Amino acid sequence: MAEKIQAVKGMNDLLPPDSAAWEWFDEAVRRVMRRHGYQFIRTPIVEPTALFVRGLGEVTDIVEKEMYSFEDSMNGDRLTLRPEGTAGVVRAVTEHNLLYEGGKRLWYAGPMFRHERPQKGRYRQFHQVGAEVMGHAGPDVDAELILLLRALWRELGLVVGEGDGAYLRLELNSLGEVAERQAHRAALVAHFEAHASLLDEDARRRLHSNPLRILDTKNPAMQPVVEAAPKLIDFLGEASLAHFNAVRAVLDAAGLPYRVNPRLVRGMDYYNLTVFEWVTERLGAQGTVCGGGRYDGLVEQLGGKPAPGVGFGIGVERLMLLLAEAGLLPAPPAPDAYAVVTEAGALPQVLVALDALRAAGVSVLLHPLGAGGPASMKSQFKKADASGARFALIFGADEIARGQVALKPLRAGADAAAAQALKPLAGIADWAGELLPA
């Protein structure tokens, strides 16, 4: 036997029956996006490496060590498997002049790639659903995105907020504008320089390149020095504070509790003003299920005409783990009916009949004929039961000869046998509705 080839480490197959839960999630996303007026956008999985280097910033975890970059062997182009969704959307919006007629509300879904150490909730290929609102500078859209996410969590059945029964909670911060961050940065560098002996190697390296990221450290030994650092929020000017307070006022009015977390800085350099995360205590270290924020400078940084932007990205694998933990994943859907066939020669009538049922919206599973002809009734009925179908459709020799099919309820209870009925194969549309769930 030839040697088996296995999937790349950290890149997973999505298999049935688990895939049904992802379809269920996708449908919920679609409904929520449509209700909020967001339009779908799909960009390529491969982009020029420069897009991410320029978009995310050189001194970020992603650009420093997580990107799958390679040279196109045909022409030498430097390419990267996208590690996140925002940069590609911004590129596409700029390239196609989408903001020409005003702002845009967009959403996307698809695989992202980061070369990280695989563990629960952290993979090398993972999936995000995200939204980007471009061309609107006001706090209204920041708040709308956060409320859209709450609507999605509710649609999925997740309880949001603080306390025991809650699965997701909102953390919020403002990163202010460039001048405010510079003033804060100077104070921050002074603080860390004064305590240089308490810094780890990573922090010392970032002290002058990107000191804000030191606040994001996961090193427990550094928590005290980070805790005592100057807070950006104390450096915010009037306009930034007004923006932040306007977002907060909406969340307060909507009864959505949140924590202001001054240490929330997010991984990408491009954020300004509002940043937020939805976190759970139930997934260990991989507790951030969704992150987002405003990026008013990114479009210009990527060569577009200056335009504000704000968005979020959901880590779908982590959300699925959380939904499973919460017992909220639906059972895979069963077919409405299972077709039992005893006559190989009747196959044309059978398939034409199933075609008509399916056209009427009924989901039907056909027992496979196989190379040796129809299996015994007994084994076909066993499969019909296991399929979870509510009805068996029996295409036997007698029924076919009379232009009929026998309909047998599989889950109706004690008098199921009595409820068996013969239905005409001509005019299937007249009775197909009986097979649909109530």
Interface residue list for ligand ATP (CB under 6 A) = 84, 114, 116, 121-123, 126, 128, 267, 286, 288-291, 313, 315, 317-318
Residue 268 Cβ vs ligand ATP, minimum distance, rounded to whole Å: 7
**Assigned token pair, 334:** 């069963």
136 or 318: whose CB is closer to ligand ATP?
A: 318
DSSP assignment string, 256-302: --EEE-TT---S-TT-EEEEEEEE-STTTT--EEEEEEE-TTHHHHT
Q: Closest separation between CB of residue 434 and ligand ATP, Å?
A: 45
Distance of closest approach, residue 188 Cβ to ligand ATP, in angstroms: 20
Q: Which residue is nearest to ligand ATP (CB)?
A: 315
Q: What are the DSSP E strand ranges found in 99-214?
A: 104-113, 125-134, 169-174
Quick one: which H or E segment has residue 182? Answer: helix 178-194
Tokens linked to 307: 């335009």
To the nearest whole angstrom, how small is the minimum distance from the Cβ of residue 232 to ligand ATP? Answer: 18
Q: Provide, rounded to whole angstroms, the least separation between the CB of residue 20 and ligand ATP.
A: 21
- Count how many Cα atoms sit within 13 Å of the Cα of residue 61 in the half-sphere of its side chain: 16
Residue closer to ligand ATP (CB basis): 80 or 128: 128
Nearer to ligand ATP, 125 or 380 (CB): 125
C-beta closer to ligand ATP: residue 112 or 393: 112
Q: List % helix, strand, coil for the chain (3-state, nearest 5).
A: 40, 20, 35
Give the chain's length: 438
Would you list which residues are annotated within the binding site for L-histidine?
84-86, 114, 128, 132, 266, 270-271
Output phi, psi for 249, to 5 deg: -60, -40
From CA 76, how far away is CA 207, in angstroms rounded? 35
Q: How far is the CB of 90 from ligand ATP (least distance, A)?
A: 15
CA distance 329 to 320: 8
Between 238-253 and 139-156, two packed helices, what is the crossing angle to 10 degrees?
30
Q: State which amino acid sits at residue 133.
A: V
Burial of 39 (0-12, 13-18, 19+ CB in 10 A): exposed
Binding residues: 84-86, 114, 128, 132, 266, 270-271
Q: Which is nearer to ligand ATP, 283 or 350 (CB)?
A: 283
Return the bridge partners of 46, or none: 81
CB nearer to ligand ATP: pick between 123 and 391 = 123
Output the smallest distance, CB 160 to ligand ATP, in A. Answer: 16
Residue among 276 and 395 whose Cβ is closer to ligand ATP: 276
